[in-house]
């Protein structure tokens, strides 16, 4: 017994009478009532459980029995007094758990175990009640993934939920996700009556009930509406998805997400390919259209996840937070600022390098100021002799013959006696690329240049900007690059080039109809095509110009880093959708218009309850959705599997496959940890014995049938 406990004095006497001893323990008057309980209910429990006889008079407790029993009883009394002294209300259940812990010979103090508060609400405190439960709670603190295995009533889900609420209140996570497989007693959701919510609620009711024990009921609907708390069946929890037709960027270009299979590659946030690890059909989902301030847009489900920054996050140097689309609806502006900033590519997209028939910078120059209409020898029109010189240097075998101050004919260099029918190098290349005969309104960047190395793409863009683009600086504003074209396709191709290099591009159109005509040669020239104006921002380190005068002007201006903000999220109907999982560390992949989105749960506390009813594939899907800063608790009882057809439980498979992996812990609770009615533990034990007896009879029957078969074989051998 501890001498430093102020509420318990050293035994006043211990007299030997045969093998019996007596110990008198004085208890502080302040704690004696808490020790004995109302109407001495705790004392009666102690009388049943202590190996020594116990008598109480005033604040003196007398223990009588053999020395070992008295010593054990003294320790029990000391621990219970310590518990009461810490402010823990003592109940018969706590008395039983304390005696059980000490009788097992545990070195841990029951007072330390049973006074570990997790959360408190309106006078009710949630804490572990057995040693195994404390070890389970400690494992949740110390590991990323914890499996809580054991029979019903051992507090697996309840304590996991308490730790989730504690983590949310301490801002260790920013969301709680609670889920269960909707497979119980062989029922199928589709055949149950009622709406979808009415079908789902019975499976989730235990989670709702636990949640209401730990939080203010008024706050729960608000948190659920905001997506901070999500309660859903396992099949619906993974429903962060995009419609089947939504395009996703792959190393070979954009492909519909519905065409992807496991093992394919998509482009991640670092511009490099990342493997698709999972493809999960989601059925029909409510779809929204997410649009950014630069006009980029894509479709996704309402619960699809986005990695976003806020102004406060940036100011404090914090990383991105993960929000579902539905969480941001109606909350996109803060005063006149956009509230949510999306990440942009950290590096240019890494397409495989491909051979090209024409210098990429020269191609950009020809698309800007070249004439390839197919009526005569190709020509080039510019007031910058430097561009003519650069074009001639980039295309072997041609010379620029000057016709006027701005017009040049691109002739093939010939030698005396050479056959004059040899094709002009520029004409041949333009024919090979499908550009010969194109006009200013029909020009485009050939696909082999769009889906090529970053150096090739940047060179094409520099040629286009050196001819039809330029730096734009305004007083009080940062410098940007502006480009103009009358070709719809070339507008889209330039946007592709800019975005694939990590930039952003804003597009507006000046309609030809109603515009005042231009003037040439003293006469009016009406506009025949709409004009597309592109405002471009490129990442630092990428030079948009090679032409010296433009490059110098661009370098003197303060240029703002490209950024994207969510402008609107609007309903777009219902479509069949699919969810993918990628191998990238940040789980991001590139979708339409080079928007970065992802599908993994970061900064979340996730609880999978009744996990014994998951299949192996469901369990793998669930565990591999783990994101950064998240914690996972998986609970279940492998003796109560309700999967149809005798399918193997995903929980059983996980205990075998994941055992021994660092940062994954398996906590095993037993009937001794049951905290419901005391009969529950007896029932669990009785069923355990019955199942063991059944297994023994089956083994005996197998041995008996094997012996009979052996005898029959032996008899058959003798007869032969």
Q: Where are the beta strands (DSSP E) in 244-375?
A: 247-250, 253-256, 265-267, 273-292, 297-301, 305-308, 321-324, 333-334, 337-338, 341-342, 370-371
> Start-end ranges of CATH 3.10.28.10 in the chain?
360-514+527-562
- Rounded to two decimals, the pTM is 0.66
Instruction: Please give the share of the chain, as a percent, with pLDDT higher than 70.
Output: 83
What is the arithmetic mean of pLDDT over 373-398?
91
pLDDT tier for residue 198 given thresholds of 50, 70 and 90: low
pLDDT (tens digit, 9 = 90+) per residue, 239-290?
Answer: 568 999 999 999 999 999 999 998 999 999 999 999 988 787 888 888 999 9
Question: Of all helices (H) and strands (E), which one includes residue 141?
Answer: helix 131-142
pLDDT (tens digit, 9 = 90+) per residue, 29-75?
Answer: 888 888 888 888 888 888 888 888 988 888 888 889 988 888 888 88
pLDDT value at residue 716: 59
Alpha-carbon gap, residue 502 to 540, rounded angstroms: 10
> Start-end ranges of CATH 3.40.50.300 in the chain?
119-237+602-676
pLDDT at 200 over 60: no
Token pair for 487: 């070709």
597 in Cβ contact with 299 (< 8 Å): no
Token pair for 567: 């402008």
pLDDT value at residue 208: 78
pLDDT value at residue 1: 41
Distances (CA, A) of 697 to 391, 562, 687, 702: 91, 73, 15, 9
Residues in the chain: 720
What is the arithmetic mean of pLDDT over 116-130?
79
258 in Cβ contact with 252 (< 8 Å): no
pLDDT tier for residue 418 given thresholds of 50, 70 and 90: low
Exposure of 632 in the CB half-sphere (CA atoms within 13 A): 21
pLDDT tier for residue 205 given thresholds of 50, 70 and 90: confident
Nearest C-alpha neighbor of 359 from the set 332, 392, 326: 392
Residue 327's SS3 state is helix
The yes/no answer on whether domain 1-115 falls in CATH 3.30.1370.10 is yes
pLDDT tier for residue 188 given thresholds of 50, 70 and 90: very low
Highest mean pLDDT pick, 108-122, 131-145, 490-504, 589-603:
490-504
Residue scoring higher pLDDT (184 or 113): 113
pLDDT value at residue 414: 82
pLDDT value at residue 7: 59
DSSP class per residue in 214-238 = HS-TTHHHHHHHTTSEEEEEHHHHT
Q: Within its chain, how far is the Cα of 126 from the centroid?
A: 29
Scan for tokens 């929204």, then name that residue: 288
pLDDT at 620 over 90: no
Q: What is the mean pLDDT of the chain?
A: 83
Residue scoring higher pLDDT (166 or 126): 166
State the chain's maximal CA–CA distance in angstroms. 135
What is the arithmetic mean of pLDDT over 158-175?
89
pLDDT at 563 over 50: yes
pLDDT at 195 over 50: no
Alpha-carbon gap, residue 570 to 287, rounded angstroms: 9
Contacts of 194 (CB under 8 A, 6+ apart): none
pLDDT (tens digit, 9 = 90+) per residue, 1-11?
Answer: 444 555 555 45
pLDDT tier for residue 326 given thresholds of 50, 70 and 90: confident
pLDDT at 236 over 70: no
Judged by average pLDDT, the poorest of 439-453, 565-579, 597-611, 644-658 is: 597-611
119 in Cβ contact with 166 (< 8 Å): yes
Contacts of 164 (CB under 8 A, 6+ apart): 173, 176, 178, 605, 607, 633
Highest mean pLDDT pick, 383-397, 464-478, 545-559:
383-397
Please name the residue ranges forming H helices in 316-446: 325-328, 360-369, 385-394, 425-432
The yes/no answer on whether domain 360-514+527-562 falls in CATH 3.40.228.10 is no
Residue 315's SS3 state is helix
Residue scoring higher pLDDT (296 or 94): 296
Please name the residue ranges forming H helices in 170-231: 196-214, 219-225
Instruction: Name the CATH superfamily for 241-344+565-598.
Output: Hedgehog/Intein (Hint) domain (2.170.16.10)
How many CB atoms neighbour CB 80 within 10 A? 28
Query: 190: buried, middle or exposed (CB in 10 Å: 19+, 13-18, 0-12)?
Result: exposed
pLDDT at 717 over 80: no
Alpha-carbon gap, residue 335 to 328, rounded angstroms: 15
What is the arithmetic mean of pLDDT over 107-131?
76
Alpha-carbon gap, residue 486 to 468, rounded angstroms: 11
The CATH number assigned to the domain with range 119-237+602-676 reads: 3.40.50.300
348 in Cβ contact with 249 (< 8 Å): no
pLDDT value at residue 353: 93
Contacts of 37 (CB under 8 A, 6+ apart): 43, 90, 91, 92
> Start-end ranges of CATH 3.30.1370.10 in the chain?
1-115
User: 593 — alpha (psi -120 to 50), left (phi > 0) or beta?
Assistant: left
Alpha-carbon gap, residue 445 to 701, rounded angstroms: 78
What is the arithmetic mean of pLDDT over 561-565?
91
461 in Cβ contact with 453 (< 8 Å): no
What is the arithmetic mean of pLDDT over 478-503?
93
Distances (CA, A) of 27 to 69, 78, 98, 444: 19, 9, 18, 92
Helices 488-500 + 454-468 axis angle, to 10 = 130
pLDDT at 192 over 50: no
């Amino acid at each position: 017994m501890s001498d430093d406990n102020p509420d318990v004095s050293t035994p006043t006497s211990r007299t030997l009478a045969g093998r019996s001893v007596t110990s008198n323990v004085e208890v502080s008057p302040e704690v004696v009532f808490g020790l004995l309980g109302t109407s001495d209910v705790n004392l009666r429990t102690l009388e049943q459980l202590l190996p020594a006889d116990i008598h109480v008079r005033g604040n003196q407790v007398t223990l009588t029995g053999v020395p070992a029993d008295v010593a054990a009883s003294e320790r029990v009394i000391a621990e219970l007094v310590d518990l009461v002294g810490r402010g823990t209300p003592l109940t018969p259940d706590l008395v039983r758990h304390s005696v059980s812990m000490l009788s097992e010979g545990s070195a841990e103090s029951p007072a330390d175990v049973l006074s570990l508060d997790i959360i408190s609400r309106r006078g009710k405190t949630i804490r572990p009640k057995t040693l195994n439960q404390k070890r389970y709670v400690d494992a949740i603190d110390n590991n990323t993934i914890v499996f809580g295995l054991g029979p019903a009533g051992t507090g697996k889900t309840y304590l996991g939920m308490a730790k989730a609420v504690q983590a949310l209140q301490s801002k260790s996570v920013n969301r709680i996700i609670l889920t269960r497989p909707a497979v119980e007693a062989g029922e199928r959701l589709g055949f149950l009556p009622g709406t979808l919510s009415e079908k789902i609620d019975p499976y989730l009711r235990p989670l709702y009930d636990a949640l209401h024990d730990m939080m203010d009921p008024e706050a729960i609907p608000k948190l659920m509406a905001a997506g901070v708390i999500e309660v859903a069946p396992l099949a619906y929890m993974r429903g962060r998805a995009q419609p089947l037709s939504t395009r996703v960027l792959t190393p070979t270009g954009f492909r519909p997400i519905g065409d992807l299979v496991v093992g394919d590659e998509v482009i991640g946030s670092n511009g490099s390919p990342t493997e698709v690890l999972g493809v999960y059909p989601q059925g029909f989902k409510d779809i929204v259209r997410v649009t950014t301030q630069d006009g980029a847009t894509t479709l996704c489900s309402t619960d699809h996840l986005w990695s976003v920054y806020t102004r406060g996050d940036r100011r404090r140097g914090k990383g991105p937070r993960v929000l579902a689309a539905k969480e941001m609806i109606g909350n996109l502006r803060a005063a006149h600022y956009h509230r949510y900033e999306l990440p942009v590519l950290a590096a240019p997209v890494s397409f495989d390098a491909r051979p090209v028939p024409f210098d990429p910078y020269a191609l950009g120059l020809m698309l800007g100021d070249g004439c390839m209409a197919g009526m005569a020898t190709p020509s080039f029109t510019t007031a910058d002799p430097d561009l003519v010189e650069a074009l001639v240097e980039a295309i072997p075998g041609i010379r620029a013959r000057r016709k006027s101050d701005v017009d040049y004919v691109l002739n093939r260099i010939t030698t005396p006696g050479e056959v004059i029918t040899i094709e002009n190098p520029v004409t041949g290349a333009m024919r090979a690329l499908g550009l010969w005969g194109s006009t200013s309104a029909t020009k485009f960047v050939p696909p082999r240049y769009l889906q090529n190395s970053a150096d090739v793409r940047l060179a094409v863009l520099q040629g286009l900007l050196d001819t039809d683009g330029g730096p734009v600086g305004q007083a009080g504003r940062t410098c940007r690059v502006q480009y103009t074209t009358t070709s719809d396709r070339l507008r889209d191709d330039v946007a592709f080039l800019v975005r694939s290099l990590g930039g952003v591009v804003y597009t507006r159109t000046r309609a030809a109809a109603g515009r005042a005509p231009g003037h040439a040669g003293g006469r009016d020239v009406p506009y025949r095509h709409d004009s597309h104006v592109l405002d471009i921002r490129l990442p630092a380190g990428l030079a948009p110009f090679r032409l010296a005068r433009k490059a110098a002007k661009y370098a003197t201006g303060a240029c703002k880093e490209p950024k994207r903000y969510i402008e609107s999220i609007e309903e777009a109907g219902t479509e069949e959708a699919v969810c993918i999982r990628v191998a990238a560390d940040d789980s991001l992949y590139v979708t339409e218009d080079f928007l970065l989105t992802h599908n993994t749960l970061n900064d979340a506390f996730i609880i999978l309850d009744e996990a014994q009813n998951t299949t192996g594939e469901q369990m793998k899907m669930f565990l591999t959705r783990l994101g950064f800063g998240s914690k996972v608790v998986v609970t279940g009882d492998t003796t109560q599997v309700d999967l149809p057809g005798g399918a193997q439980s995903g929980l059983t498979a996980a205990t075998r496959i994941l055992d021994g992996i660092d940062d994954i812990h398996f906590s095993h609770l037993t009937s001794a940890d049951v905290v419901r009615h005391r009969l529950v533990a007896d029932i669990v034990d009785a069923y355990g014995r019955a199942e063991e007896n059944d297994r023994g009879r089956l083994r005996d029957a197998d041995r008996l049938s094997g012996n009979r078969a052996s005898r029959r074989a032996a008899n058959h051998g003798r007869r032969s």
